[in-house]
């Protein structure tokens, strides 16, 4: 293998695939990136066996095709440290890699392609296409609520439902839930359900910053995202996703509207004085006023702030985990937030005061039992 490529192009490709490569693995070959030079293109591949990313680059000059796997950390950091100049890469029969530039010469030991895992690909029996901007928005609005509890593996991913007239994403960890629906989606397929692991979602988000569409290729146990010259393959999380609709309350009739920025700042300050164990803050709401309180009896900390709100129902108090509440508030795009409340022991619904066109976005937050 022998070719010349510009530093910027190679670094961009390496950054696309290196994120999936484990820094330490019981299978050392997974710590490598596979370089394949074929059909006038350089194909880079990284994998942890659950998620695989491939991308293609066009070198300046190709003198000899071939393939070799190189240590991901070493090659990425080495290329990153170079200026934007041409780089010549050449391998010998023993998979020794010589890297030559105008500034110097470097050598790395690689390994044979035969030792690298076979690159999987789902059967193209189900293909869905979605705009990058919409896919990125829906992932960003749900990934924060994915569970990390290994005892509930079905919750350790973003749940996707694709129907004829809806594209849904849902995530929940049992304490909070986020559901976003694209009502403008039009498809012709039967309903599809899948649970996408968070690592795949996070890598997908890094590839959805350009205009255009992404093809989703889906089969029973895996799916792939095709973003131009880059493909992300992932195994799907096994298991049955719970009936999330059952936990979303339909009778929360106490409406409170509050300024987003004022609430974010107030929750941040008041939560500094809450218990480090429970992170509990208390909402005490009466007509036109919200009082946010916290107390840490162990250290004698206490805080209280008041905000003007739009609320005309009976007074009530409800407790929340301040970190979960902050995470939810940050997802709101509008200047004001709507809280739909029922009682101190019922889940609160949080949503923007105005939904985007063809979209329905709502989040659920479970309360904390108020300490006396």
Angle, helices 7-18/72-81, rounded to nearest 10 degrees: 150
Write phi, then psi, for 221 (nearest 5 degrees).
-125, 0
Class (C level, CATH) for 126-245? alpha beta
Q: Could you tell me if 65 and 3 are in contact, meaning their C-beta atoms sit under 8 angstroms apart?
A: no
pLDDT in tens, the chain (372 residues): 999 999 999 999 999 999 999 988 888 999 999 999 988 999 999 999 999 999 999 999 999 999 999 999 999 999 999 999 999 999 998 999 999 999 899 999 999 999 999 887 777 778 899 999 999 999 999 999 999 999 999 999 999 999 888 999 999 999 999 999 999 888 766 789 999 999 999 999 999 988 899 999 998 889 999 998 999 999 999 999 999 999 999 999 999 999 999 999 999 999 999 998 889 999 999 999 999 999 988 888 899 999 999 999 999 999 999 999 999 999 999 999 999 999 999 999 999 999 999 999 999 999 998 865
Angstrom distances, CA of residue 98 to CA of 22, 43, 90, 150, 245:
24, 18, 5, 44, 58
How high is the pLDDT of residue 372?
59
The CATH 3.10.150.10 domain(s) of the chain lie at 2-115, 126-245, 248-365
Q: What does residue 176 show for φ and ψ, rounded to 5 degrees?
A: -145, 160
**Which CATH architecture does the domain made up of 248-365 adopt?**
Roll (3.10)
Residues sharing a CB contact under 8 Å with residue 275, sequence separation 6 or more, in sequence order: 294, 295, 296, 297, 298
**Token pair 């106490």 in the structure block, residue:** 254
What is the model's pTM? 0.91
User: How many Å apart are CA 196 and CA 235, to the nearest integer?
Assistant: 8
CATH assignment, 2-115: 3.10.150.10
């Amino acid at each position: 293998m022998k070719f010349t490529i510009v530093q910027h192009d190679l670094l961009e490709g390496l950054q696309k695939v290196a994120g999936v490569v484990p820094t330490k693995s019981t299978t050392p070959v997974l710590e490598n990136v596979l370089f394949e030079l074929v059909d006038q293109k350089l194909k880079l591949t990284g994998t942890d066996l659950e998620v695989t990313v491939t991308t293609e680059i066009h070198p300046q000059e190709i003198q000899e095709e071939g393939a070799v796997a190189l240590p991901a950390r070493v090659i990425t950091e080495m290329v990153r440290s170079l200026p934007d100049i041409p780089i010549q890469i050449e391998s010998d029969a023993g998979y020794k890699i010589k890297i030559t530039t105008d500034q110097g010469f470097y050598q790395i030991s690689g390994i044979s392609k035969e030792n690298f895992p076979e690159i999987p690909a789902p059967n193209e029996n189900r293909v869905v296409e979605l705009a990058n901007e919409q896919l990125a928005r829906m992932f960003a609005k749900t990934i924060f609520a994915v569970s990390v509890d290994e005892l509930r593996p079905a919750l350790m991913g973003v749940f996707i439902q694709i129907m004829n007239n809806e594209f849904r994403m849902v995530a929940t960890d049992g304490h909070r839930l986020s559901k976003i629906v694209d009502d403008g989606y039009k498809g012709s397929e039967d309903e599809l359900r899948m649970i996408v692991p968070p690592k795949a979602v996070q890598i997908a988000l890094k590839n959805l910053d350009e205009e255009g569409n992404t093809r989703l290729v889906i089969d029973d146990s895996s799916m792939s995202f095709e973003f131009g010259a880059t493909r992300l393959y992932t195994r799907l999380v096994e298991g049955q996703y719970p009936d999330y609709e059952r936990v979303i309350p339909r009778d929360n009739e106490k409406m409170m509207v509050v300024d987003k920025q004022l609430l974010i700042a107030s929750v941040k300050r008041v939560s500094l004085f809450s218990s480090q164990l429970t992170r509990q803050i208390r909402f005490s709401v009466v007509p036109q006023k919200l009082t946010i309180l916290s107390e840490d009896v162990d250290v004698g900390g206490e805080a209280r702030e008041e905000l003007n709100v739009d609320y005309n129902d009976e007074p009530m108090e409800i407790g929340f985990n301040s970190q979960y509440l902050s995470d939810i508030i940050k997802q709101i795009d509008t200047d004001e937030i709507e809280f739909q409340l029922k009682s101190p022991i019922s889940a609160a619904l949080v949503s923007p005061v105005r939904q985007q066109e063809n979209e329905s976005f709502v989040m659920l937050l479970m309360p904390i039992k108020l300490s006396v």
